[in-house]
Chains A and B, each alone.
Chain A
Amino acid sequence: EIVLTQSPGTLSLSPGERVTLSCRASQSVSSSSLAWYQQKPGQAPRLLIYGASIRATGIPDRFNGSGSETDFTLTIGRLEPEDFAVYYCQQFTTSPQYTFGQGTQLEIK
């Protein structure tokens, strides 16, 4: 089983700042099989990025994904108030065991 480890667990930042979230895999993950989601309290997760770097429909260009093999990152270029949420990475390499990372909580400072 591929384990995804996200860091940090929690980040406290201010609107306007830039942030980079990390997702590290226990073994190599195909870049085409790595996705990122955003989840706000009481809401369903929302797809942000698939294929490690391809923004989903309607996702603002301040969200950027990158990485390969075991190291992936999600960068938010300039935080908006609505970006404070929990972010998850997910891998599809070991289909159909679609494991998620444990999440990074992004909170307002």
Chain B
Amino acid sequence: EVQLVESGGGLVKPGGSLRLSCAASGFAFSDYNMNWVRRAPGKGLEWVSSISSSSSYIHYADSVRGRFTISRDNAKNSLYLQMSSLRVEDTAVYYCARRGGYCTSTNCYKWFDPWGQGTLVTVSS
């Protein structure tokens, strides 16, 4: 079964740090682009960061650039998100998601599937 399981969430004070992990199983983790997405209370989904299969390409949303660092360990089938200088507005459920897709002669299709169940990060004094 293809599965993603996040861990590492918790309560942290503003300015603090936290490291999230995402354990992958049931598929060739090293073949896929991986992502972090968050959902703040009462708000919608927000893409946070992506990392290519070999870690060659890394991208961040403007809201977290310079404070969050995405990484992966293909030998351990794991994805990470190191979060520092945390703000109250970073409070959210954080999901890891695999980017799937394929290309035909004319189009390239992309999607996020599967997603993990999420881990809650609460930033509060």
- A residues sitting closer than 8 Å to B (CB atoms) are 30-33, 35, 37, 39, 43-47, 50-51, 54, 56, 86, 88, 90, 92, 95-103
B45 near A100 (CB under 8 angstroms)? yes
Chain B nearest CB from A103 CB (Å) reads 4
In the complex, chain A residues whose CB is within 8 Å of the CB of B35: 98
A88 near B109 (CB under 8 angstroms)? no
A88 near B45 (CB under 8 angstroms)? yes
B47 within 8 A of A: yes
Number of interface residues of B (CB under 8 A): 26
In the complex, chain B residues whose CB is within 8 Å of the CB of A30: 107
In the complex, chain B residues whose CB is within 8 Å of the CB of A90: 45, 47, 112
Q: Total contacts A to B, CB within 8 angstroms?
A: 72
In the complex, chain B residues whose CB is within 8 Å of the CB of A92: 110-111
- Report the Cα distance A100→B48, complex, angstroms: 11
Residue of A nearest to B59 (CB): A96
B115 near A54 (CB under 8 angstroms)? no
B107 near A50 (CB under 8 angstroms)? no
Known: A44-B114, A97-B61. A103 touches B44 (CB 8 A): yes
Per a CB cutoff under 8 Å, which of B44, B50, B95, B118 touches A98?
B50
B110 near A44 (CB under 8 angstroms)? no
In the complex, chain A residues whose CB is within 8 Å of the CB of B50: 96, 98
Given A96-B50, A100-B46: 19 more A-B contacts, CB < 8 Å? A31-B107, A35-B110, A35-B112, A37-B112, A39-B45, A44-B117, A45-B95, A45-B115, A46-B115, A47-B111, A88-B45, A90-B112, A95-B110, A97-B59, A98-B47, A100-B44, A100-B47, A102-B43, A102-B44
Known: A98-B35, A98-B47, A100-B46. A47 touches B113 (CB 8 A): yes
Q: Could you mark each residue 7-49 of chain B with 1 if its beta carbon is under 8 Å from any beta carbon of chain A, else 0? A: 0000000000000000000000000000101010001111100
Chain A nearest CB from B116 CB (Å) reads 6
B108 within 8 A of A: yes
